[in-house]
Amino acid sequence: MIFNKRGVHQFAAGFNIGDAISNEMSSLKSVFRKIGYSSEIFAENTGPGTDTLVKKYKAYAHKSKDILVYHHSIHSDVLETILKAKNPKILIYHNVTPDHFFEKYDLKLTYLLRKGREELELLRDKFDKVFAVSEYNKSELIDLGFENVGLLPITYQLPQGNSERAKPSPKPISNSPRFLFVGRITPNKKQDDLIRFAYQYLKTYGPEFQLFIVGFSSKELYLYREELERMLDFYKLRENVIITDFLSEEELKEMYSNCDLFLSMSEHEGFCVPLLEAMVNNIPILAYDGGAVKETLAGAGVLFKEKRMDLIVELAHKMTTDGSMRDSILETQERRLQTFSQINAETVLRPVLAKLA
């Protein structure tokens, strides 16, 4: 590949292995290079094992012909660098988690999120093109006065167009169901409500079940993690609920293949990539209607609007023991996947880049 003299470089607050925004940036880097541009990723904070994937944003060697792509989800000093540059700019909005979820656990993160949301109004006229990763996010920007907001859903883990995927076979019905949630250990994702679900399930159907809570737990949110651990002791759920840290791609795929139901209690999502992962791995979804979850599912899986644990437990049990019900739910998810697979980032981005070039 002979790259265009012009680069299309991406910037974000952070970059970590397994993080949805980071994965999307890596996918878009491949798209930009396929189109013919040079492309690198720059971030303020970089996680372990990312040295070959991302560079510190201060290492960026400014070139006036470059197109700069900024991913916004929280306040970062990266933003000042982007705004000072005279280059053509693209904003990709991933949503900013409401700061009230974090006040009890981390005031610094609370501040960064609050400032990140306040900055949105300042960004309104600072970019040549603006994308949101969901209609939910797009509506927020429109409410703030943004115009001509494009849609660029996160579909990096899907086969594109007519590509075939190897769909896993549904798992045999089990008398010992395994429930799964995947997502960072954070208060907005409500892992504490997952533990309350497990306690209700234990009281209703007995101890023959497991709940796997999979996700990166940051040192900044250690108070929330400690709260979860105390809940496991209080409810005597150590044998039933397993909280894991970050899993590799292979380990995560195996986890999906061994579980019977994806259960989400999350109360704020700008998109929720694990819902797509659950669809790809052919595992039925039961999810709370929080943020963009309803839009991402779009009739697939099962959505609930109230956290009535007795009713949720009953529904989860039926979804894992009634083969006919499970199969009909999986059919809705497969149809949703087909819709997503028709979305092509290259098709969306190529004319935008050509216009800015």
Strand-pairing partners, residue 182, are 214
pLDDT recorded at residue 2: 53
From the list 86, 92, 22, 172, the residue with the least C-alpha distance to 348 is: 92
Same-domain status, 319 and 188: yes
Same-domain status, 305 and 351: no
**C-alpha to C-alpha distance for 120 and 148, rounded to whole angstroms:** 15
Residue 81 lies in a domain: yes
pLDDT recorded at residue 161: 46
Same-domain status, 331 and 203: yes
Residue 169 lies in a domain: no
Same-domain status, 326 and 193: yes
If one counts the domains in the chain, the total is 2
pLDDT recorded at residue 134: 95
Residue 198 lies in a domain: yes
Same-domain status, 99 and 231: no
Same-domain status, 94 and 187: no
Q: Read out DSSP for 268-296?
A: --SS-HHHHHHHHTT--EEEE--TTHHHH
Residue 201 lies in a domain: yes
pLDDT recorded at residue 103: 97
Residue 167 lies in a domain: no
Residue 170 lies in a domain: no
Please enumerate, as own/partner, the contacts of 52-60 that have beta carbons within 8 Å and a separation of 24 or more: 53/15, 53/22, 53/26, 54/15, 54/22, 57/11, 57/81, 60/9, 60/11
Residue 76 lies in a domain: yes
Domain encompassing residue 309: 178-340
* Per-residue pLDDT tens digits for 80-122: 999 999 999 999 999 999 999 999 999 999 999 999 999 999 9
Same-domain status, 99 and 37: yes
Same-domain status, 85 and 102: yes
Same-domain status, 219 and 324: yes
pLDDT recorded at residue 55: 97
Same-domain status, 316 and 350: no
Mean pLDDT per 10-residue interval, the chain, length 357 residues: 76 94 94 95 94 96 95 97 96 98 97 97 96 97 96 73 64 91 97 99 98 94 97 98 92 95 98 95 98 97 98 98 96 94 90 93
Do β-strands 67-72 and 261-264 pair in parallel, antiparallel, or remain unpaired?
Answer: unpaired
Same-domain status, 186 and 327: yes
Which CATH number belongs to the domain containing residue 323 in this structure? 3.40.50.2000
Please enumerate, as own/partner, the contacts of 251-256 that have beta carbons within 8 Å and a separation of 24 or more: 252/18, 252/182, 252/214, 252/277, 253/281, 255/180, 255/182, 255/212, 255/214, 256/180, 256/281, 256/283
Same-domain status, 308 and 239: yes
Q: Are 177 and 320 in contact (CB under 8 A)?
A: yes
Per DSSP, the three-state class of 45 is strand
pLDDT recorded at residue 4: 57
pLDDT recorded at residue 342: 84
pLDDT recorded at residue 343: 84
Residue 248 lies in a domain: yes
Q: Are 289 and 136 in contact (CB under 8 A)?
A: no
Tell me, what DSSP letter sits at residue 236?
A: T
pTM more than 0.85: yes
